[in-house]
Chain A
Amino acid sequence: MTLPRDRGGTGAPRTALVMLGCPQLCAQTSGALFLLNELAACGIDAMVAGTSSACAHLEVGDPAGHYLGAHMDIDECIAELAEGEQDYDVCFVFIHNDAGVAYAATLASISGGATIALIFGEHAEELASGLEGIRCERHIIRGGHNPLPMKRTLREVVAWVASKN
């Protein structure tokens, strides 16, 4: 995986996008809050993009805003990236359905940053195959209800991303 700061030679990523899919599987919400905490601990500013329901799950789970900071509508985020108005050093995408694959492939195309696909749920392996040939790093995570496999993967991935000094 190549981070945009590798190309500029200026060190670790400073900004991240956390893109949420449909909140149907509960591991997404707990995983996103955990990821936001890990990113903050590494000094990486995160923007969350999701549907109103996906963002509402985070707001309800984090009412004092300890983890959730800036957040926006998922399609407004895509528009900003596609128009070149905004970009991020690294983009995390939670995927458990076909639409999630489509959003990840789109991010990989319109963002200059690294795209990290977090593919979980019952059909994770099949969905991952839909990203073959796409410029992204794929992580297949077992299960959609138990948050612990997601937590383990996120901890490893963020540690690796943050080590890119």
Chain B
Amino acid sequence: MGCVEKLNYEVLIRHCSFREAAEYIRQNTPEYYEVPPGFKIFDVHIIGVPPILVGIEGEHIIFPYTKPCHGTFLLRVGGGEEIESLRRRGKRVR
């Protein structure tokens, strides 16, 4: 199972709704992709209501991470090889 705690992440927004997370990505990331629910990134399966957006900002990936008791967190993580993987597998929106 993937565990987000293994990632060196920065929390951009905490305790938000998935819609707020998507809106942040739409407004603030120069490049972003639509992915289906359950999409695997960094060994984590993304939870959410479509359209789920994942952004690329320089060398970082910005994605929503949902916890049952605490809502959605928008995380910024060093992308590494996941950037190219996202570009291949995601549906580019911008």
Contacts and interface: CB of A to CB of B under 8 A. Distances in A.
Interface in B40-80: 40, 45, 47-50, 66-72
Contacts of B18: 98, 101-102
A103 B68 contact: yes
Contacts of A75: 1-2, 45
Nearest to A73: B1
Nearest to B20: A98
Q: Is chain B's interface secondary structure helix, strand, loop, or mixed overall?
A: loop
Interface residues of A, number: 31
Interface residues of B, number: 21
B68 A134 contact: no
A130 B18 CA distance: 10
Given A21-B69, A105-B49, A106-B47, 14 more contacts: A51-B69, A73-B1, A75-B2, A76-B1, A82-B38, A82-B39, A98-B71, A100-B68, A102-B48, A102-B72, A103-B47, A105-B37, A109-B36, A134-B50
